[in-house]
């Protein structure tokens, strides 16, 4: 459905907390980052695959592409750049294979290009990938980096040995601040503690910028979650002190062009650092065009250094207002929903001066329009419209702002058509004439108007609403399909022709295919919870995507399921093809509610299974729902809150191991997607060994954590880590599978890195994934490596019929538990 958001005469959002004015970090009076830092960091695109050649070639492209001219000046090296151990003098040692000329030689090259070099460190005993950390070594490391000519430090938070208090975070990060100051070299200091200790409250006199969230991922839920967390922190930013919502994913392929434009738009509005995280050497023209948008970058780099205030944040729509040094305002209209939405804000609710009209320049299209009282846009799903706005004395010579909004529900191929509603609205200072709305749908679709689609005149702020019947033909594929809505009109004394177009993306649903499958592998039509997103195969942790642990109910751990915060609702289209749903339900063991919850399964609004009075700590309850003939399936969790002390509680309500059965199947058919357990530790350690015995580590079977059977593997990890696994007596044939997985629970006081490797062929060639998944202390998750991402030495192919050994990497110097090493289909 479409949506509208209007601010009438004032700001509806809660007032931000009062804070002291930010001050420049460090002992020097110089502001090292008067505007948000811009540049490149290798981690998002390359992980540990960093090298001197990559950094040199990226520096070359920054200059040749013109990005350096825009301000992208820092070329930053992330984790995995050093040797695993320090040198005899206690100093960090660059990996001589990756960096044959050392960091100092690389810095000389980068500086010669007119750019600056960044490095990575960690406020713990080890980095996230297990390399030497700087805890207790701050002075020698700071001086080493200064001696090399480093200009920027990203300082991470893994293996931090922390008691979790804010005081400890302040102590650890201040220690490096003071060490950097003692070197006398100006080094921008980026605090990367993931927002755990609310650094925006204390880091303004410690760092130049500070991470406010966990790591970003190249997908829409991650981007949406990070925007929601960082946008409200606008009172804490200012010249030399920046909220950092993490690096850019633009160009890495996991999002649409619309979503990537939102990425840069919202980072610019939030005065965020702009650190490119894609391979610039192979970047497409479209990627370079987004990153190189001068008007958007100018908003980010505006010398006032003000992060945009959130004027409104409701129902997935957000309005932001950012003052600019020349007196203009940047106004962003952001739509995080899955449908086209009209977003409005009255000019009087912003920081704009009172005026009869306003000039609006769209910083993505370059289009200039005039508006009277209301700034508005029909914003596509996941999109953001950013206007640069100023008062306008004479609007008569500027085309008016006209919006074309639309709303259409879910369509079923071949079924009775859905109702499309279009709304053309004149936001200009004068009337428009001869307004006519048209709709273009995909070829073969039927679009029939059921009310007038034209009008002779629209006064300022008046609208023309039209209804249509839209039918998708039989055989239309499930998924998103575009529908274009156009409003044509005449404006001004000479009846100049004008036009505005919006794209509505409608969802076509089809029934699930035959088979028994984990429900979380199907895309819901709608999913919403009280706190954070509905999680797949995890419980809900907080507001961010993927911040929970494996679903655990009454001590039983599940690797499949849907985690929600009640009240919640998840809706699926079945089309009358499915027969049953079986699921366990309960409040997650992480829940704190002392009040009961209820779980209800509805088939076409009829209750077909339910569990009442479910309390935290109870064993899961099993529900079996008859779905025969049902068109729609709804899963509803309710009842959490208020607690006895009067607070409202939205606790973790889990649907564990939900299996949907559709079509003509046998009860003996496997649940899809198929997984094959390779190691379950039910009979002991199953001949697992340690790849590098001299690096330490021990193993023993344990019942303390298990996701398959009754036992798992307890691993006492060395601080710097080791590989645990075994060489197989016979080659393993994993053809037909696409990934390897294992389940892990971090130690009580320290998290662990998780990684997967295999050995293949008669020579036992070592092939390894490039992503080091982090699991925090006490948390649990599934670590996965797709075979497509596992890299082998030059000349070696990953032959899935000749897997000769399985290995997992763990570290942290703590007791970690793992279980259920398996091959999986995707």
**pLDDT at res. 147:** 98
Name the pLDDT band for 13 (thresholds 50, 70, 90): very low
The active-site residue out of 95, 108, 139, 215 is 215
Percent of the chain with pLDDT over 90: 86
Mean pLDDT (the chain) is 93
Average pLDDT over every residue of 500-520: 96
**pLDDT at res. 683:** 94
**Residue with the larger pLDDT of the pair 590 and 644:** 590
The pair of three-digit structure tokens given for residue 585, joined into one six-digit string: 């339900």
Average pLDDT over every residue of 613-620: 93
Average pLDDT over every residue of 8-24: 31
Domains and CATH numbers, the chain: 38-313 (3.20.20.70), 399-508 (2.60.40.10), 515-671 (2.60.120.1060), 675-824 (2.60.120.260)
492 has a pLDDT exceeding 50: yes
* C-alpha–C-alpha distance, residues 264 and 176, integer Å: 30
Cβ count near 496 (within 10 Å): 11
The active-site residue out of 78, 79, 122, 156 is 156
Contact residues for 69 (Cβ-Cβ < 8 A; gap 6+): none
**pLDDT at res. 769:** 85
Cβ count near 807 (within 10 Å): 23
User: How far, in Å, are 558, 661, 665, 673 from residue 670 at the CA level?
Assistant: 17, 11, 10, 8
**pLDDT at res. 97:** 97
Average pLDDT over every residue of 95-105: 98
Average pLDDT over every residue of 93-101: 97
Average pLDDT over every residue of 411-428: 95
Average pLDDT over every residue of 30-35: 90
What pTM was computed for the model?
0.84
Range with lowest mean pLDDT among 170-174, 280-284, 298-302, 635-639: 635-639
12 has a pLDDT exceeding 70: no
**Active site includes 156?**
yes
**pLDDT at res. 30:** 67
Name the pLDDT band for 314 (thresholds 50, 70, 90): very high
Range with lowest mean pLDDT among 526-535, 607-616, 719-728, 798-807: 526-535
Name the pLDDT band for 646 (thresholds 50, 70, 90): low
**pLDDT at res. 19:** 33
Average pLDDT over every residue of 301-323: 97
* C-alpha–C-alpha distance, residues 789 and 654, integer Å: 31
pLDDT tens per residue, range 115-157: 999 999 999 999 988 899 999 999 999 999 999 999 999 999 9
Range with lowest mean pLDDT among 162-166, 236-240, 362-366: 162-166
Average pLDDT over every residue of 795-808: 96
Average pLDDT over every residue of 84-92: 96
pLDDT tens per residue, range 255-265: 999 999 999 99
The pair of three-digit structure tokens given for residue 453, joined into one six-digit string: 């689609």
Distance of CA 205 to the CA centre of its chain: 28
User: How far, in Å, are 48, 117, 130 from residue 812 at the CA level?
Assistant: 18, 29, 8
pLDDT tens per residue, range 722-751: 999 999 999 999 999 999 999 999 998 888
DSSP calls for 493-555 = TTTEEEEEEEEEEEEE--PPPSEEEEGGGSPPSEEE-SSSPPEESS---SSSTT-S-SEEETT
**pLDDT at res. 8:** 28
């Amino acid at each position: 459905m479409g949506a509208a958001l209007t601010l009438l005469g004032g700001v509806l959002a809660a007032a931000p907390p009062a804070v002291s004015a930010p001050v420049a970090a460090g002992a020097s009076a110089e502001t090292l980052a008067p505007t948000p830092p811009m540049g490149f960091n290798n981690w998002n695109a390359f992980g540990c695959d960093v090298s001197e050649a990559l950094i040199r070639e990226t520096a070359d492209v920054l200059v040749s592409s013109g990005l350096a001219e825009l301000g992208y000046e820092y070329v930053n090296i992330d984790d995995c750049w050093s040797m695993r151990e320090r040198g005899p003098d206690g100093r960090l040692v660059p990996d001589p294979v990756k960096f044959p000329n050392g960091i100092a030689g690389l810095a000389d090259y980068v500086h010669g290009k007119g750019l600056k070099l960044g490095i990575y460190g960690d406020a713990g005993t080890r980095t996230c990938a297990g390399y030497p950390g700087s805890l207790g070594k701050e002075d020698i490391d700071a001086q080493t980096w200064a001696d090399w000519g480093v200009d920027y430090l990203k300082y991470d938070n893994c293996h931090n040995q922390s008691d979790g208090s804010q005081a400890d975070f302040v102590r650890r990060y201040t220690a490096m601040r003071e060490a950097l100051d003692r070197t006398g070299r100006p080094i921008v200091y980026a605090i990367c503690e993931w927002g755990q200790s609310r650094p925006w409250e204390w880091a303004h006199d410690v760092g130049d910028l500070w991470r406010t969230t966990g790591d970003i991922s190249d997908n829409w839920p991650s981007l949406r979650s990070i925007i929601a967390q960082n946008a409200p922190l606008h009172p804490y930013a200012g010249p030399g002190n920046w909220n950092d919502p993490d690096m850019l994913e633009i160009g890495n392929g996991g999002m649409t062009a619309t979503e990537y434009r939102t990425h840069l738009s919202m980072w610019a509005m939030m005065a965020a650092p702009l650190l490119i995280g894609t391979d610039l050497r192979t970047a497409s023209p479209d990627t370079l065009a987004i990153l190189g948008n001068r008007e958007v970058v100018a908003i980010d780099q505006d010398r006032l250094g003000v992060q945009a205030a959130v004027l409104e944040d409701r129902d997935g729509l957000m309005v932001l207002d950012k003052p600019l040094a020349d007196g203009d305002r940047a106004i962003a209209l952001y739509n995080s929903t899955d449908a086209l939405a009209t977003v409005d804000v009255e000019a009087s609710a912003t920081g704009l001066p009172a005026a009869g009209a306003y000039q609006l320049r769209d910083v993505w299209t370059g289009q200039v329009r005039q508006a009277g009282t209301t700034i508005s846009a029909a914003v596509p799903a996941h999109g953001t419209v950013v206007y640069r706005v100023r008062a306008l004395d004479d609007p008569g010579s500027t085309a008016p702002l006209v919006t074309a909004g639309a709303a259409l529900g879910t369509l079923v191929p071949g079924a009775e058509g859905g109702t499309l509603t279009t709304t053309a609205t004149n936001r200009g200072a004068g009337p428009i004439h001869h307004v006519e709305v048209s709709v273009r749908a995909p070829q073969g679709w039927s679009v029939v108007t059921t009310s007038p689609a034209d009008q002779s005149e629209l006064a300022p702020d008046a609208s023309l609403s039209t209804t249509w019947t839209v039918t998708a033909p039989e055989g239309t594929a499930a998924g998103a399909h575009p529908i274009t809505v156009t409003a044509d009109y005449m404006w001004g004394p000479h009846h100049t022709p004008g036009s505005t177009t919006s794209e509505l993306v409608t969802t076509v649903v089809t029934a699930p295919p035959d088979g028994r499958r984990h429900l979380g592998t199907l895309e819901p039509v709608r999913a919403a919870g009280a706190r954070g997103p509905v999680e797949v195969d995890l419980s809900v942790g907080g507001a961010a995507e993927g911040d929970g642990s494996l679903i655990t109910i009454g001590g039983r751990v599940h690797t499949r399921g849907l985690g929600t915060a009640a009240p919640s609702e998840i809706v699926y289209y079945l089309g009358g093809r499915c027969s049953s749903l079986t699921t366990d339900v309960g409040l997650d063991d992480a829940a704190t509610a002392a009040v009961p919850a209820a779980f209800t399964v509805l088939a076409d609004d009829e209750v077909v299974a339910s569990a009442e009075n479910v309390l935290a700590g109870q064993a899961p309850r099993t529900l079996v729902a008859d779905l025969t003939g049902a068109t729609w399936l709804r899963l509803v969790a309710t009842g959490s809150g208020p607690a006895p002390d009067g607070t409202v509680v939205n606790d973790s309500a889990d649907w564990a191991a939900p299996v949907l059965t559709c079509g003509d199947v046998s009860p003996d058919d496997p649940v899809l997607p198929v997984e094959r357990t390779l190691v379950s530790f039910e009979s002991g350690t199953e001949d697992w060994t340690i790849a590098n015995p001299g690096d330490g580590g021990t193993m023993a079977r344990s019942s303390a954590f298990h996701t398959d059977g009754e036992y798992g593997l307890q691993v006492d990890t060395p601080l710097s880590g080791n590989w645990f696994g075994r060489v197989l007596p016979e080659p393993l044939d994993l053809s037909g599978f696409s990934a390897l997985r294992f389940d892990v629970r971090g130690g009580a006081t320290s998290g662990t890195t998780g990684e997967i490797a295999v050995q293949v062929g008669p020579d036992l060639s070592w092939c390894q994934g490039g992503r080091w998944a982090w699991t925090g202390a006490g948390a649990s998750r599934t670590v996965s490596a797709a075979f497509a991402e596992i890299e082998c030495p030059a000349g070696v192919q990953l032959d899935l019929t000749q897997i000769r050994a399985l290995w997992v990497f763990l570290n942290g110097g703590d007791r970690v538990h793992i279980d259920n090493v398996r091959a999986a289909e995707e």
